[in-house]
Amino acid sequence: MPGSLINDLGNPVEPFLRSDRMPHIWCPGCGIGTTVNSFARALIESKIDLQSLALVSGIGCTGRVAGYVKLDSFHTTHGRAIPFATGLKLANPKLNVVVYSGDGDLSAIGGNHLIHAARRNIDLKVICVNNLIYAMTGGQTAPTTPDHSITSTNPYGVFEPSFNLPHLVEAAGAVYVARWTTFHVRQLSRSISEAFQKKGFSFIEVISPCPTLYQRRNKLGDGLDAMKYYKEKSKVRHGAPTNEVGLTMTGEIVVGKFVDRDRPDYQTMMRTQYTESLGERFVEQPEMVCDCS
Amino acid sequence: MRLQLTEIRIAGFGGQGVILSAIVLGKAASIYQGAFATMTQNFGPEARGGACSAQLVLSDSPVLYPYITQPDILVVMSQEAYARFGPELKDGGIMIVEQDLVRVSDHKQEIQVYSVPATRIAEELGKRMVLNSVMVGFFTAVTLLLDADAVRKAVADSVPPSFRELNLKAFEKGLEYGATALTATPNTADPDLHVEYSRE
Amino acid sequence: MKADPRGVLTGTHFMDGDHACCEGALAAGSRFAAGYPITPSTEIVERFASRVPTVGGTFIQMEDELAASITLQGAVWGGAKAFTVTSGPGFSLMMEHIGYAAMTETPCVFVDVQRGGPSTGLPTLPAQADMMQARWGSHGDYEIIALCPNSPQECFDLTIKAFNLAEEFRVPVMFMMDEVVGHMTEKVVIPAADQIEVVPRRHTRKPVDEYLPYATNGDLVPEMAHAGEGYNFHVTGLTHDEHGYPNMTPQIQDKLVRRLQNKIRDAADRIALFEEEQLEGADVVVVSYGITSRVAQRAIEAARERGLRVGKLRLITAWPFPEKKIRELAANVKAFVVPELNLGQMVREVERAAAGQAKTFAVSHAGGGVHNPEDILKVIVEASRCQAA
C-alpha cells in the first residue's frame, strides 16, 4: 500500500522525480503535481520496468512534466508529443511510451495527431491533463473550455462549442478511455496501471484545476473549491456512452472507465500485413541498438 | 560504336510502354554499351492516363543538359503524339511511327520515316503488352544507334522474369522488321542520320 | 564502420534520382522514415515503403509534414537512423522541427526535392528556391549542413554523406535536390557494402552516473544516449544546460547557441565539398549547384571555345557556405557568375564572400524549367568584359 510506503520511506514518489530540479514551476492549487503523484504511484503499483519507460510531453504547463520525472523524458514541440512518441515507439517497440501533456497541446495544435494515433492504434499511453484553458500563455480559450467561460481571448464569454475528448478519441479508435479528476487520485493511479496492461492507444483525461487563470477569471474560487466541486459534482459511471460525458462550466462531471476494448495495435497489424504479403521476404526490424564501434 | 549526342523523344499514350522503352534504350547505352544516357519523363496531370512522353539523351560523353532541345529521333505511337511532337523533329531526323495508330501527313522538315505495326506484331505474339519491345527492336534496327546485343540485354533485365522470353521474342521481331524496312528504304547507310528527303 | 550489406543494392542500375536517394538512405543504414506524400519527392518514400520491410525497418506515412518531421526525431532517440522527405510546401511546415533537431542535436536528414514556389507553385517542375529557407527557415540562430546533388549517382552517394555528416555533427542535414535531379534517370553504380563508409552514432560509453547529455569535448559535439538504456536523460527544445535541463539565462543561452553554431562553423573547411575546374588563371568563375551546374557546364564550354578564361566552382555543400574559397578566388578573378533556379539566393553569399574584390553577376530563373545555356553564356561574356574590381 502506498500509505505504508510513506511511513517507511518518506515521500514514496520522490525516487521518480528529479529532485535537483525542484521547486517546480506550477502554481499553488494547480492540479498537475497531483497527477504526477498518481502517475508515480501507478508506476509503483504496476511494477513497470522503469528503464523501459519513456515519457514525452508537448508544450504548456503539463508539458513541463517531462522535465521533472526521472525517466528518459522528451519535452518536444507544441502539439507534437504524439508524433514524436510514435517515432520513439516504432523505432524501439520494447519501450513503454507515455505521452503526458495538456488539453490545448493534445487537442488543439496536436488534435490531428491525436485522432490519427488513435486511428492507427499506436501503443501509447496518453495522459491528458485538462485544465480547460491555455494556462502557460495566460488563460486563453482552449478547444476544451466550457461554454460561457471567460477567457483572455473570449473576454465576453466563450461561444464556440468545446471538444468532448473521451468521445473524440473513442470515435477515432482508442482501446482504453477513462476520465478522472485530481480529486480521484487512487482511481487515476489504477487507470494508469490498467492502461499499462493494454496494448494500443490509451487515453486518460484528468480534469485538473487552474486556479490562477481559469477559476479566478470565472469566479470559481481556488484549488480547494475545485476539489469541493469535483467531489460534489463528479459521478462515477463506468462504461458511460462517451457522447454523454461532455463538460459544462459548473455541471456534473462524469468520470470512470468509458472504453476498454481490444484491437490489434499498429505494429501488430504492420507485422501481420507484411508477413501475409511478403512471406519469407519480410525481415523483422532488428533492435536498433547502437553500434558504437 | 561511337555515339554522338543524340536526342530522342518517345511518345504515345499510357499503357504502351513509352517510359519502359526509354528505360531500355537508356540502359542499353549507359550500362551495356559504356556510353551515357539521361532519361526524363513528363510528370503531372498530362502524364496520367492519356498522353505520355519520355525524353532520352544519349552520348559517349557525360550528358550535361538533361532535356532534349530538338529531337534527332522521334518515336510516336499515337496520333495525338504525332500531332504534338511531329513538328519539333530536327531537319534530317528520323521518325518512327506505329503505323496502325498514326496516319502520317506532310512534314515541313526533311526527315526519314520508318513505320512498324508494333501492336499488331505484339498481338500476333500473343500479348499486346510487348509492343514496346517490338518498337525497341525496330528502333535498334533502323537507327543503327545502339548495339543490338546491348539493347537485347537491356530488354532482358527490364521486364519481369515471367515475360522475359516473350519480350525478347518481340524484340527480335521488331529487329527483323526494322532490318527489312532499312533495306527497303534508300539512303540508310549514313550513320550521321542526315538522310535525304523522303516521304512515305 | 562499413555499411550493413542488407541495405545495399550493389550493382549497376538505371535509376532516377528519387530512387537513388532512397537507396543511399538504406545504404547509410537508415531503417526508419516518416513521410507525407508530396510531388516531386514521393517516389523516395514509395521506394522506401516497398524496400524497408525486406531489410528490417519501418516506414510510416504520417498525417502531415509537421508529424513526419518530428516522428523521425522520436525514432532517432529510439536508436534509429531516420529521415523524412518533402518538397516546398511540406518543407515550410517542417521548419519548426528543423530548429528542434538543431537545438536538441538530433542527427537526422531532411530531403527537399525542390519545386517552383511560393506556395503550391509548380508541383511538377523544378526550382532551387528553398536554399535560403534551408539555411534560415527555422527561428533563432543555428547552423545546418546542406548538400546539393546534381545527378542520380550523387543522389545515392551524397545521401550517404548526408547521414554521415548528421551523425558526425549531431545536426539536421538538408538534402537539397531539385525536381530535375529527382526525376531524371541515369546510370547509378552502387558499390559493395564493404566499400561504403558509414559513420556510427556518437553514442556515449560513459556509465550512467557520469553521463552528462550535453557536455562536450574539444569538437563541441556531445555524446548521445538512447531511450531505454537507463540513462534517464532529458531532452528539451528549451535553452538547456549540460544536464539537458531547461536553464533560461542569457549566459546559458549564449554558451549553448554559440556552441551549436561553432560546431559547424569551426569545421566548415572540413565539411565543404566542391568541384573545381580551371580556376587557375580564370577571369570569370561560374558558381553553381544542383541541376544548374550541368546546364552551366554547357555555357562554360561554349565560352571557352570562344577563348574566354572561365573557371567552374560547383557547390556540393551549399551550407556551410565555402566562403573562404570564394574569398580566395575573389582576389584573383574579375567576376563571379551565379546561375540558379531562383531570383537570387546563393548569389548573395557569393557577393558577401567576394566582399567587393570581384564583381558578382546573377543569372536568375524563376523556375519551372532549367536555364537556356545561351542565357548563362551571355552573362559570362559580359562578366569577362568587365573591369576587375
Please give the torsion angle defined by the CA atoms of residues C36, C42, C47 and C53, in that order, rounded to the nearest 10 degrees.
Answer: 10
Residues C157 and C283 both lie in one domain: no
Which residues on neighbouring strands pair with residue C363, listed in sequence order?
A: C339
Residues in A closer than 8 angstroms to C77, CB to CB, are 72, 74, 87-88, 91
Closest CA to C172 of C58, C86, C64, C46: C86
Residues 6+ apart with CB under 8 A from C11: C189, C190
Query: What mean pLDDT comes out for the span B173-185?
Result: 92
Q: Which chain B residues are within 8 Å of C179, Cβ to Cβ?
A: 43
> Is the CB of residue A83 less than 8 Å from the CB of residue C244?
no
Predicted local confidence at residue C320, as pLDDT: 97
CA distance C317 to chain B (A): 20
In order of their start, the domains of chain B are 6-184 (3.40.920.10)
Which residue in the set A80, A274, A289 is minimally distant from C79, CB to CB?
A: A289
Contact B65 C291 (CB under 8 A): no
CB contact under 8 A, C228 and A52: yes
State the smallest CA–CA distance between residue B197 and chain C in angstroms: 30
Confidence check: pLDDT of A154 > 90: yes
The answer to whether the Cβ–Cβ distance between C72 and A18 falls below 8 Å is no
Give yes or no: residues C286 and C381 share one domain: yes
Q: Let me know whether C175 and C51 are in one domain.
A: yes
- List Cβ neighbours of A274 (8 Å cut-off, separation of 6 or more): A282, C53
ipTM score = 0.96
Nearest to C79 among A67, A83, A92 (CB): A92
Domain membership of residue C133 (yes or no) is yes
Chain segment B38-69, per-residue pLDDT in tens = 999 876 555 555 778 999 999 999 999 999 99
Cα C310 to Cα C37: distance, rounded to the nearest angstrom: 41
- Residues forming a β-bridge with C1: none
CA distance C247 to C243: 10
Whether the pLDDT of residue B107 is over 70: the answer is yes
A72–C53 C-beta distance less than 8 A: no
> Residue C317 falls within a domain, yes or no?
yes
C25 in reach of chain B (CB within 8 A)? no
| Same domain? C58 vs C176 | yes
Whole-angstrom CA distances from A55 to A197, B191, C8 are 17, 71, 35
Q: Domain spans of chain A?
A: 2-264
pLDDT at B194 over 80: no
All residues of chain C having their beta carbon less than 8 Å from the beta carbon of residue B27 are 14
Which pLDDT belongs to residue A5?
46
User: What DSSP element (H or E) covers B131?
Assistant: helix B131-143
Q: B66 vs C185: CB contact, 8 Å cut-off?
A: no
B192-195 contacts at long range (C-beta below 8 A, 24 or more positions apart):
B192/B4, B193/B6, B193/B72, B193/B73, B193/B92, B193/B93, B193/B94, B193/B112, B193/B143, B194/B92, B195/B92, B195/B94, B195/B110, B195/B111, B195/B112
Element (H, E) at B183: helix B164-184
Give how far Cα C306 sits from Cα of A181, C102, C325, C376, Å. 82, 47, 27, 14
Pick the CATH number of A2-264 from 3.40.50.970, 2.102.10.10, 2.40.390.10, 3.40.50.620: 3.40.50.970
pTM as predicted:
0.95
Report the distance separating Cα C204 and Cα C210, nearest Å: 10
Same domain (yes/no): C280, C186 = no
Interface test with A, best of C104, C167, C235 (most A CBs within 10 A): C235
Q: Within a domain: residue C259?
A: no
Residue B157 makes CB contacts below 8 A (sequence gap 6+) with B27
- Domain with C96 in it: 5-195
Q: What do you get for the CA distance between the two ends of chain C, in Å?
A: 48
Same-domain check for residues C181 and C305: no
- Minimum CA–CA partner of C123 in chain B: B44
Q: Is residue C261 part of a domain?
A: no
Q: How many domains does chain C have?
A: 2
C-alpha cell at B33: 554499351
Final residue in a domain of this structure, among C195, C221, C251: C195
C-beta atoms of C187 and B65 within 8 A? no
Positions in chain C short of pLDDT 50: none
Contact C12 B31 (CB under 8 A): yes
Q: What is the pLDDT of residues B1-26, one digit of tens each?
A: 578 999 999 999 888 999 999 999 99
Chains with ≥3 CB–CB distances under 8 Å to A: C
Alpha helices, DSSP H, located in chain C: 17-27, 42-51, 65-77, 88-104, 131-136, 152-169, 179-183, 250-265, 268-271, 291-305, 323-330, 346-354, 373-385
Q: Assign residue C373 the CATH number of its domain.
A: 3.40.50.920
User: Cβ–Cβ contacts within 10 Å for residue C249, how many?
Assistant: 10
At A53-98, the pLDDT tens digits run 999 999 999 999 999 999 999 999 999 999 999 999 999 999 999 9
What's the pLDDT band for A289 if we cut at 50, 70, 90?
Answer: low
- Domain edge (last residue) among C195, C229, C246: C195
Does B44 sit within 8 Å of C298, measured CB to CB?
no
